[in-house]
Amino acid sequence: MGLPECDAAAYERFCHPNLPVCTEVGDHFCKPRAVRVAGFFDTVLVHTKGTFARKPFILAPWQRNEIVGPLFGNVRWSAEHNRFVRQYRMGWVELARKCGKSELLAGIALYLLAFDGEEGAEIYGAARDRDQARIIWDVASRMCQLSPKLNQREGLRVRRHEHRIVDERTGSYYTVLARDALGNLGLNPSATLFDEVIAQPDAQLWEAMRTAMGARVEPLMLAATTAGNDPNSFAAAEHAQCVKVAEEPEREPHRFVYIRNLPIDADVFDERNWSIPAPALGDFLSVQTLRDEAMEARNDPSKENSFRQFRCNQWVSQSTRWMAMHLYRECTGDIWPTADWGAKLLTGRQVWCGLDLSAKLDLTSLCAFTPPTSKEPGHALWWHWLPEEALPALDTATAHKARQWVKQGFLRLMPGSVIDYDELCRQIHEVLSPYKVREISYDKWSGEAVRQNLERRFGRRLPIIPNEPTYVGMTVPMRELMALTVNHSWCHHGNPVALYCFDSVEVRRAVDNPDLMKPVKPVRSPTGTRIDAVVTTALAVGGWAIRGQEPAQSRTAYGFS
């Protein structure tokens, strides 16, 4: 038996009584539902401030089509509740300041309170403290006063002294909740609206509200915020997760993400860029205000930081996520299911290598890279080693993928708790013997002994190039690797260890020169995050890009100190 048709027609048609019946089946964007919520804004709500006060709250196209429409319109069939429910239970809206977040959230709160069909709805406006939580509540209560339709709505009352708006017809209310009042257990929220999540000192209130929503059919936890400046904060971690979900929605299909950050390498002083983080620019946000601030920011680094954060909606910490995983996936090529699969295919090829050694917990990584030609993209091969005693921790950190990698040959275990460098060098020589090795770039901090050991095995004619893991040493390799990725000029063939590293890596930019970068582990990373394969790939690609074009003559003339 197939799924039933969408029942949107059965809903109360408050704003658009003549909406067509929705006959869709299964997961879909339900236009009647989206139109109904947008119509609530247009025909019921009014603005509360400035020159727009008392005028109808006509949603801007970006608010309608990119936030309200998808958030309320996308539905899925719930077998549990035997009806269609909203796809999104969580939402994250990240915009520059003064783009109308408060008014939008206030309107959504009123919709959820009195027009969403939820009996006994409990809507909470959550924030750092009561004053902050009241900002949106105050807008909502003012809307109730100024909107003729809300004013006349039977049973809808504003109880100012309690900071409560109630709908007596359904026994529902909307009130404020501050983190400092946490401990009000026994809440049964149907919706929580978080204002300025960056002000939350930790995940406590967020988690308390998230876990309390379980009893509702269509719960919604919606956060609105501007970019923050603390990479260790709870909001930064949520932001990072949301960026991943925006790239690959299937990671968390129940999470709606709307993020408008000006890319970190864009010119923040070019006003053509300002509408990216601030879609309200020229509408209800004045261009002149931003021009004035930009002028001040040009001459004052601390103001520039604020301008970047609040107006350009940039996370101003030094380190940021590096690889957009949809780009990385576009460079997959055909999947090589085991480690020796690709190793055999590339036998006899010229390879440029990157090596990153570690003593204890980290992976030791070796990458061999065949450069792209006019006929085919480049290919990367990796070998990874780990001390046996470090496996349980990595296995936990990777949700038990690490043991699978060992079985497939992608990860080699070394006995004990440290890497035996002599045995490692023997294996490196062995795995690279089928190829014409052009050079090995290695992390200088790995030490002279390893270099000498490799030189002894490969012979003095092979350049073994030390690379400093600094901004100066890593910028060009990272840039070359990104350029290859953007141009689809290499394939990683789905190597799972490399995927894990590329998914985790961040880059830190030099404070005084954002053009300089180096790969780093995420500061807030769960223990076990690895980036070693990124380093070795960059070293291999960088070696080829920097030295690969030179005539053979000068290659052999390398004197390695």
Residues that bind Zn ion (CB under 5 A): 6, 8, 22, 24, 30
CB of 30 to Zn ion, least distance (A): 3
CB of 4 to Zn ion, least distance (A): 11
Nearer to Zn ion (CB atom), residue 27 or residue 252: 27
CB of 26 to Zn ion, least distance (A): 10
CB of 28 to Zn ion, least distance (A): 6
Nearest-5° angle of CA 471, CA 238, CA 35?
125
Identify the CA nearest to 112 among candidates 185, 264, 219: 219
**Structure tokens belonging to residue 250:** 């299937």
Nearer to Zn ion (CB atom), residue 77 or residue 269: 77
**Structure tokens belonging to residue 261:** 């950050």
Bridge-based pairing of strands 191-195 and 83-86 is unpaired
Q: Looking at beta carbons, which pairs linking 251-254 to residues 24 or more positions away fall under 8 Å?
A: 252/90, 253/87, 254/87, 254/88, 254/89, 254/90
The rounded distance, in Å, linking the Cα atoms of 163 and 141 is 9
CB of 29 to Zn ion, least distance (A): 8
- How far is the CA of 394 from the CAs of 10, 58, 530, in angstroms? 52, 52, 9
CB of 503 to Zn ion, least distance (A): 35
Nearer to Zn ion (CB atom), residue 11 or residue 269: 11
Identify the CA nearest to 390 among candidates 367, 354, 358, 349: 358
CB of 233 to Zn ion, least distance (A): 38
Nearer to Zn ion (CB atom), residue 83 or residue 401: 83
The rounded distance, in Å, linking the Cα atoms of 164 and 29 is 33
Identify the CA nearest to 102 among candidates 159, 145, 140: 140
CB of 20 to Zn ion, least distance (A): 10
Bridge-based pairing of strands 378-387 and 490-491 is parallel
Identify the CA nearest to 149 among candidates 39, 261, 231, 17: 39
Can you state the percent helix, strand and coil of the chain, rounding each to 5? 40, 20, 40
Nearer to Zn ion (CB atom), residue 6 or residue 99: 6
Nearer to Zn ion (CB atom), residue 5 or residue 455: 5
Query: Tokens 């009893």, residue?
Result: 215
The rounded distance, in Å, linking the Cα atoms of 343 and 212 is 51
Nearer to Zn ion (CB atom), residue 6 or residue 464: 6
- What are the two backbone dihedrals, phi and then psi, of residue 344, each rounded to the nearest 5 degrees? -70, -40
Q: Is 494 left (phi over 0), alpha (psi -120 to 50) or beta?
A: left
Nearer to Zn ion (CB atom), residue 6 or residue 212: 6
CB of 38 to Zn ion, least distance (A): 15
Nearer to Zn ion (CB atom), residue 8 or residue 213: 8
Residues 294, 255 contacting (CB under 8 angstroms) = no
